Structure 1
């Protein structure tokens, strides 16, 4: 009996220790549905959007004035979803910390934008080798949470020579058309964008949609055709949304770009395994 109690106690200690090692970081969700976390770059704390569609870490000019920036001779050329070219300089982060977890060998760029009290965006770059869980139920971020036995969807990794990283998954629209969609937590809540090139394949008439010209923060104007789409689902039918508000956009550089909240309430992005695990 004593051995049983002793063994139970030891097991309990190990369980408690294992839970203790899983970092839990509270986050806020703003009115646009963005996930806001606190992080330190070069030992200065700021508020950042957790943005799986950002590609690379970015800080805004106002925050860059608070820290010492180590500019490199390197640069990155990419495009925003609506087609604007970005040719940005890269800076070495001497340190990047999220809730005392240190991420080494990080870089960032500086973007001349103002977004309220937000200081920038944390991309998936720090999490190449660290599974990150977004728990919408409890508004917490967790690192290295066990996912054994959980259902999942496959993701495809777009790795731009180590300088930027995005994730995609295949989805099905209206139970007929298979497309590949960028998964973008920076899009906010219930965001569903698709290339207007897909409207013909879906037998959608532009006249049935509201046409709205919209300028981006970088002053490029695109036509948005806003209306209803019958369904979007993961290929394995694990998740499905019906009668969704959608925008079909001229010159969108992706077949699709969606937020990630529709996939579930507790999501673990595991880049190494090329999976998003869904606990709830």
Structure 2
């Protein structure tokens, strides 16, 4: 499984000057065995392979790739944020002239640079470039579809709809979340994270007893103490258990049963979940704050 250094940050820096496409574009995707989605994009004209990460929050380049990109402008300020498990991160910020995906171009986009490796990939492509451009993850055909107003209107007539909670504080942060019913007991707000990996469901361990999960009764092999990659003194206790049922609040008929779950101590969200189980064609429309499911 690819480790994401900042993939749980829900961060967006600066407004983007991008215009939705007038002609629908289909861009090939690669789906790794880990479940991570990879797309080709160009930063200031330099092409690379990036994890398409709806939970990444900020575009990220590996230092090795960034050294190939000309024209990155370092910003004066820095960003302080927190990973989902509570790590504080202070990152330097850069402005890219353009991020290009197919025929779509997002200009004056903020990103950060990571000194480590990402399994041979060049970085993370977050939602920041697409806050004005609706798109569909067609997992069946392995395509990223950049929607037009006409194609989006057609999808809205036929697809199921999950309202999104779009967080955008002061034009600097962006995240998408939705409400889910868990074990028919709690309604929790979960960030939707394509970068979590296949079958990785995380819920704050504070809800364990309310969900009918007795962490004290779990086998020792289902209790893990994991040190942070960034702050070794920060250790999280993770309990492995099973969810009886998970369903979107807006679509009760869509249910996931007997799913493995990680109950994480110190998680700063109610939970974090992938979205591939919701359907094979998923349209994320940030301007209208909806997730459309074919």
> What TM-score, normalized by structure 2, do the two folds share?
0.85
The equivalent of 2:9 in structure 1 is none
Aligned equivalents of 2:167, 2:119: Cα separation in 1: 30
1:112-127 alignment runs, 5 A limit: 112-127=115-130
Does residue 76 of structure 1 match 2:76?
no
Task: Name structure 1 gaps, 5 residues minimum.
Answer: 1-19
More displaced stretch, 245-254 vs 88-97: 88-97
Does residue 134 of structure 1 match 2:149?
no
The equivalent of 1:232 in structure 2 is 246
The equivalent of 2:6 in structure 1 is none
Aligned equivalents of 1:217, 1:268: Cα separation in 2: 33
Q: CA shift at 1:163, angstroms?
A: 2.5
Aligned equivalents of 1:164, 1:64: Cα separation in 2: 23
Aligned equivalents of 2:253, 2:97: Cα separation in 1: 41
The equivalent of 1:13 in structure 2 is none
1:260 to 275, 288, 294: 275
The equivalent of 1:248 in structure 2 is 263
The equivalent of 1:17 in structure 2 is none
The equivalent of 2:156 in structure 1 is 148
Q: CA shift at 1:76, angstroms?
A: 1.7
Q: CA shift at 1:238, angstroms?
A: 4.3
Aligned equivalents of 2:193, 2:141: Cα separation in 1: 20
User: Are 1:270 and 1:276, in contact at CA under 8 Å, matched by a contact in 2?
Assistant: yes
User: Are 1:56 and 1:122, in contact at CA under 8 Å, matched by a contact in 2?
Assistant: yes
User: Are 1:269 and 1:275, in contact at CA under 8 Å, matched by a contact in 2?
Assistant: yes
1:2-41 alignment runs, 5 A limit: 21-41=23-43
Aligned equivalents of 1:262, 1:216: Cα separation in 2: 28
User: Are 1:170 and 1:234, in contact at CA under 8 Å, matched by a contact in 2?
Assistant: yes
Q: CA shift at 1:66, angstroms?
A: 1.0
Indicate the structure (1 or 2) with the bigger Cα radius of gyration.
1
1:217 to 220, 229, 238: 229
Give me the CA root mean square deviation.
1.6
The equivalent of 2:50 in structure 1 is 48
User: Are 2:185 and 2:210, in contact at CA under 8 Å, matched by a contact in 1?
Assistant: no
- Partner of 1:253, secondary structure, is coil
